[in-house]
């Protein structure tokens, strides 16, 4: 192939490296007002009173919104007031909104709003939320409007319950000669994208609602604002320019709603709401936490026979996207292993924590930590090489998933090939432990994962192509450029299909929901998978139009024509042909007669045969294909201090087809870096009032350059037959196995089993102290 697979420099690279790329906050129209939130300092408290009298006297203040009831919001369950009324349910929840002429005035006024609270008992973990006597986060859960496949249990903190019932558990346990059971937990954390979220809104006199937002889901923002507030969908236009990192956190719709409300309160004037870093961490939705219990049974040869799993997801104060995360966690609950007998309960729990957004991997990095640690415990009990245990259980064509999808050579990648490549790349055969000296030891841990993308069954992706008079092509897709380079890959796909120079394809980076065809959401590693299909369809459309007009001009049958090099030409005599510049805008004969017109191509796609899950058994087809991967992490452990250094991190992923090598490497390495930070350091620390104690980058610390290990990446290419050139999703997968592999390495190094994240030295010290005290 000429273009696909090459490391084409991303189209927006020059804008970005020169600092010229513009993000939502960089756009400022004259007369734009500023909004500022007042946020809750408590996890759970009754709002007794709100005094805004002093704030109203601040010059420049246009509106103060507090205590006002708006329609409830939320994607899966309408459980969230945009601005809290009656009570607050999490630290950081918006309690009031000030609109003023300048950001400084808005902040000054916001600081003068006095809110009196009466603390309520706090639900501080999903396990606590699950207890029968737990305080209720939502007393009126039964009254909320909801999607059909959300299953809240009124009178409890259960926002949804997804069941997987596959096979015969009794048979599974009776065939199990070795059984292991373990529990795992970690608190919510943050995405920490470089760009904090920002939205602007303006309501024009004719009723048009113009929104600009740093979002992965501008089309969803349009839909939800229409739904929530009864606005005409066609009058809502959402713009999204470049987005400075998203990682799932910008798939939730939140600030858009607040900006819309703010603008409405000031007669439709343009209003901007920009999160401070603290608000971005606290107020906007976070990375979900989890309490998990996993029980695995195997025969003496290590063949898995049964799995019983409970996931209690920490959805936080409002269910929103956590409902879907909970479902996704059930769908792939076992990890990438063949299992005939599976029983899984995946619960989305309400707690008094910041509510959850999707996070890169969408439940899979989280559940993989629990599954992969348990697999290592099982390997230990079987006295078996942990990589071998995974190899013999690796899921394959002919097997079925927990939701009973029959796998074939296209819809699942080749996990065994990934494992074999990892064995080589990670030098697994030298053994997991290398002694350096009495104090230091190098230890390797491994893990596996898989993922399908549980997007809405009717989620669309569309592409429009238009020609310029010089024969170059404009590509418009609703995929958001969130930093992944996906739009460049779409251009490569088009260039490959039309056999033309990729530099002659111009990609529109900004998306607006009025003129850009919809791409459902830029999530779930679906940009290339779905957008690519739409591009190919649009390419066929323009080929048809180009060859039709060329056939007429060249007086040759369409079947004799080829497209390539920005030309349409005769297959057997390429010298005879027409350049795109002569036909892309129609053709004009020497005498002035013209035929055709500007060529406009279109392509769109919805995924085939996706279905809802059966509420009792979980059976159903949740996603189109599974990407499997195998991972390794090597650490150097200090036996005296219990500290460790990351030496190597390795991912081998079946990507289907490498579309842009450097971009793919960047995606996988970046994801590994995030996964290691999540596993090794990033977490929210809560106090007994449900307050996040570290809502700043001073104390909330992603991985910094220099702390990273050497990254090793391997690709396996088992094509997904229905996708563009066979590509599978790859945006998330480097992350997913890192917590499990690091946990396995550290457990082996320290000689104690770790069940919590983050894996900080103090955790090791505590475990060692506990072990020592137990032995005394």
Q: How many residues bind other proteins (CB under 8 A)?
A: 31
Cβ closest to other proteins, residue 208 vs residue 643: 643
Q: Say if residues 21 and 75 touch (Cβ distance below 8 Å).
A: no
Name which position in 598, 699, 710, 771 contacts other proteins (CB under 8 A): 699
The strand order across the sheet containing 561-564 reads: 561-564, 567-570, 573-579
Q: What is the CA radius of gyration of the chain?
A: 27
Q: Say if residues 93 and 283 touch (Cβ distance below 8 Å).
A: yes
φ, ψ dihedrals at 619, nearest 5°: -65, 140
Query: In sequence order, what are the residues at sequence separation of 6 or more whose Cβ sits closer than 8 angstroms to the Cβ of residue 652?
Result: 418, 419, 421, 422, 425, 629, 630, 631, 713, 714, 715, 716
639 scored as a contact of other proteins (CB under 8 A): no
Write the DSSP string, 311-355: EEEEEES--TTHHHHHHHHHHTTT-SB--S-EEEEEEEEE-SSPP
Closest separation between CB of residue 5 and other proteins, Å? 36
6 scored as a contact of other proteins (CB under 8 A): no
Cβ closest to other proteins, residue 723 vs residue 747: 747
Three-state secondary structure call for residue 573 = strand
Q: For other proteins, which stretch binds (CB under 8 A), given 123-131, 440-448, 637-645, 733-741? A: 637-645
CB atoms within 10 A of CB 118: 11
Name which position in 640, 688, 772, 776 contacts other proteins (CB under 8 A): 640
Name which position in 572, 706, 775, 776 contacts other proteins (CB under 8 A): 706
Cβ closest to other proteins, residue 372 vs residue 682: 682
Cβ closest to other proteins, residue 301 vs residue 699: 699
Burial of residue 275, with CB atoms counted within 10 A of its CB: 0-12 exposed, 13-18 middle, 19 or more buried: buried
Q: Say if residues 523 and 31 touch (Cβ distance below 8 Å).
A: no
Cβ closest to other proteins, residue 608 vs residue 704: 704
Write the DSSP string, 170-198: HHHHHT-SEEEEEEEEE--B----SSPPE
Closest separation between CB of residue 97 and other proteins, Å? 17
Residues 268-287 that bind other proteins (CB under 8 A): 276, 278
Name which position in 560, 707, 717, 722 contacts other proteins (CB under 8 A): 707
Name which position in 59, 71, 104, 234 contacts other proteins (CB under 8 A): 104
The percent of the chain in helix, strand and coil, each rounded to the nearest 5, is 30, 30, 40
Q: Say if residues 259 and 271 touch (Cβ distance below 8 Å).
A: yes
Closest separation between CB of residue 335 and other proteins, Å? 27
Closest separation between CB of residue 707 and other proteins, Å? 5
641 scored as a contact of other proteins (CB under 8 A): yes
Among 723, 576, 615, smallest CA distance to 164 is for 615
Cβ closest to other proteins, residue 173 vs residue 765: 765
Q: For other proteins, which stretch binds (CB under 8 A), given 63-71, 145-153, 409-417, 689-697? A: 689-697
Q: For other proteins, which stretch binds (CB under 8 A), given 118-126, 217-225, 308-316, 692-700? A: 692-700
* x/- letters, 742..771, toward other proteins (CB under 8 A): ----------------x-xxx--xx-----
Closest separation between CB of residue 587 and other proteins, Å? 57
Name which position in 24, 40, 73, 108 contacts other proteins (CB under 8 A): 108
Q: For other proteins, which stretch binds (CB under 8 A), given 20-28, 260-268, 653-661, 698-706? A: 698-706
Cβ closest to other proteins, residue 592 vs residue 706: 706
Cβ closest to other proteins, residue 86 vs residue 687: 687
Cβ closest to other proteins, residue 40 vs residue 454: 40
Query: In sequence order, what are the residues at sequence separation of 6 or more whose Cβ sits closer than 8 angstroms to the Cβ of residue 762?
Result: none
666 scored as a contact of other proteins (CB under 8 A): no
Three-state secondary structure call for residue 371 = helix
Q: How far apart are CA 355 and CA 288, in angstroms?
A: 8
- Give the Å distances, CA to CA, from 263 to 35, 127, 272, 304: 9, 40, 9, 57
Cβ closest to other proteins, residue 139 vs residue 641: 641
Cβ closest to other proteins, residue 46 vs residue 114: 114
Cβ closest to other proteins, residue 573 vs residue 769: 769
Q: For other proteins, which stretch binds (CB under 8 A), given 103-111, 407-415, 547-555, 616-624? A: 103-111
Q: How far apart are CA 374 and CA 286, in angstroms?
A: 26
Closest separation between CB of residue 287 and other proteins, Å? 17
Closest separation between CB of residue 136 and other proteins, Å? 29
Parallel/antiparallel/unpaired status of strands 289-298 and 236-240:
unpaired
Name which position in 297, 531, 680, 739 contacts other proteins (CB under 8 A): 680
111 scored as a contact of other proteins (CB under 8 A): yes
Cβ closest to other proteins, residue 276 vs residue 588: 276
Closest separation between CB of residue 701 and other proteins, Å? 5
Q: How far apart are CA 283 and CA 56, in angstroms?
A: 24
Q: Say if residues 668 and 440 touch (Cβ distance below 8 Å).
A: no
Q: Say if residues 459 and 604 touch (Cβ distance below 8 Å).
A: no
Closest separation between CB of residue 774 and other proteins, Å? 17
The rounded Cα 94 to chain-centroid distance in angstroms is 24
CB atoms within 10 A of CB 59: 10
Cβ closest to other proteins, residue 104 vs residue 154: 104
Binding site for other proteins (CB under 8 A): 103-104, 107-108, 111, 276, 278, 640-641, 643, 645-646, 680-681, 685, 693-694, 696, 698-699, 701, 703-704, 706-707, 758, 760-762, 765-766
């Amino acid at each position: 192939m000429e273009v696909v697979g090459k490391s084409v420099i991303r189209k927006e690279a020059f804008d970005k490296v020169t600092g010229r790329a513009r993000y939502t906050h960089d756009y400022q129209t004259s007369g734009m007002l500023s909004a500022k939130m007042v946020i809750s300092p408590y996890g759970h408290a009754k709002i007794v009173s709100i005094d805004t009298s002093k704030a109203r006297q601040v010059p420049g203040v246009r509106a103060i919104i507090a205590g006002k009831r708006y329609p409830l919001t939320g994607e899966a369950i309408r459980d969230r007031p945009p601005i809290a009324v009656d009570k607050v349910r999490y630290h950081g929840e918006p309690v009031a909104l000030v609109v003023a002429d300048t950001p400084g005035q808005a902040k000054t006024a916001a600081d003068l709003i006095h809110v009196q609270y009466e603390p309520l008992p706090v639900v501080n973990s999903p396990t606590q939320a699950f207890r029968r006597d737990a305080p209720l986060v939502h007393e009126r859960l039964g009254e909320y409007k909801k999607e059909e496949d959300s299953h809240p249990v009124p009178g409890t903190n259960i926002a949804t319950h997804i069941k997987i019932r596959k096979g015969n558990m009794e048979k599974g346990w009776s065939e199990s000669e070795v059984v292991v059971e373990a529990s795992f937990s970690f608190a919510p954390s943050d995405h920490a994208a470089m760009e904090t979220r920002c939205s602007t809104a303006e309501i024009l006199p004719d009723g048009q609602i113009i929104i600009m937002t740093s979002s992965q889901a501008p089309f969803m923002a349009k839909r939800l604002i229409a739904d929530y507030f009864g606005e005409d969908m066609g009058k809502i236009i959402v713009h999204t320019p470049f987005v400075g990192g998203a990682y799932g956190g910008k798939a939730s719709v939140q600030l858009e709603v607040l900006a819309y409300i703010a603008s409405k309160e000031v007669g439709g004037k343009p209003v901007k709401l920009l999160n401070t870093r603290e608000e971005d961490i606290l107020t906007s939705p976070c990375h979900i936490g989890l309490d998990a219990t996993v029980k695995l049974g195997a025969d003496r040869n290590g063949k898995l026979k049964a799995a019983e799993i409970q996931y209690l997801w920490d959805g936080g104060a409002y269910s929103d996207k956590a409902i879907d995360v909970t479902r996704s966690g059930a769908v792939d609950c076992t990890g990438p292993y063949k299992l005939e007998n599976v029983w899984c309960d995946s619960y989305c729990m309400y707690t008094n924590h910041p509510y959850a957004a999707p996070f890169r991997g969408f439940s899979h990095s989280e559940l993989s930590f629990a599954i992969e640690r348990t697999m290592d415990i099982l390997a230990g009990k079987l006295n078996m090489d942990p990589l071998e245990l995974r190899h013999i259980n690796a899921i394959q064509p002919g097997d079925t998933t927990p939701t009973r999808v029959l796998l074939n050579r296209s819809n699942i990648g080749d996990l065994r090939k990934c494992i074999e490549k990892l064995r080589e790349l990670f030098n697994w055969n030298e053994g997991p432990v290398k002694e350096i000296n009495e104090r230091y030891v190098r230890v390797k841990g491994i893990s596996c994962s898989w993922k399908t993308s549980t997007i809405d069954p009717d989620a669309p992706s569309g592409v429009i192509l238009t020609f310029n008079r010089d024969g170059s092509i404009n590509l418009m897709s609703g995929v958001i450029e969130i930093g992944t380079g996906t739009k460049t890959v779409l251009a490569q796909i088009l260039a490959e299909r039309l056999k033309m120079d990729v530099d002659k394809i111009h990609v529109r980076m900004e998306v607006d929901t009025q003129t850009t065809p919809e791409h459902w959401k830029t999530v779930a590693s679906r940009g290339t998978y779905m957008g690519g299909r739409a591009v190919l369809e649009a390419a066929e459309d323009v080929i048809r139009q180009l060859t039709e007009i060329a056939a007429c001009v060249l007086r040759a049958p369409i079947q004799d024509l080829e497209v390539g090099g920005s030309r349409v030409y005769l297959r057997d005599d390429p010298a005879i042909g027409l350049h795109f510049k002569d036909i892309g805008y129609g053709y004009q004969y020497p005498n002035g007669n013209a035929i055709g017109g500007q060529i406009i191509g279109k392509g769109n796609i919805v995924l085939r045969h996706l279905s809802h899950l059966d509420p009792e058994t979980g059976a159903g087809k949740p996603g189109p294909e599974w990407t499997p991967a195998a991972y390794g992490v090597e650490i150097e452990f200090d036996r005296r201090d219990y500290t460790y250094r990351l030496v190597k991190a390795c991912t081998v992923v079946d990507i289907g087809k490498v579309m842009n090598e450097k971009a793919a490497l960047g995606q996988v390495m970046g994801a590994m870096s995030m996964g290691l930070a999540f596993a090794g350091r990033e977490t929210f620390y809560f106090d007994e009032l449900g307050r996040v104690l570290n809502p700043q980058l001073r104390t909330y610390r992603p991985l910094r350059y220099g702390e990273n290990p050497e990254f090793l990446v391997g690709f396996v290419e088992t094509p997904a037959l229905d996708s563009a050139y066979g590509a599978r999703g790859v945006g998330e997968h480097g992350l997913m196995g890192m917590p499990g592999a690091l946990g396995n390495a550290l457990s082996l190094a320290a000689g104690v089993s770790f069940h919590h994240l983050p894996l900080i030295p103090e955790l090791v010290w505590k475990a060692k102290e506990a072990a020592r005290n137990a032995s005394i």
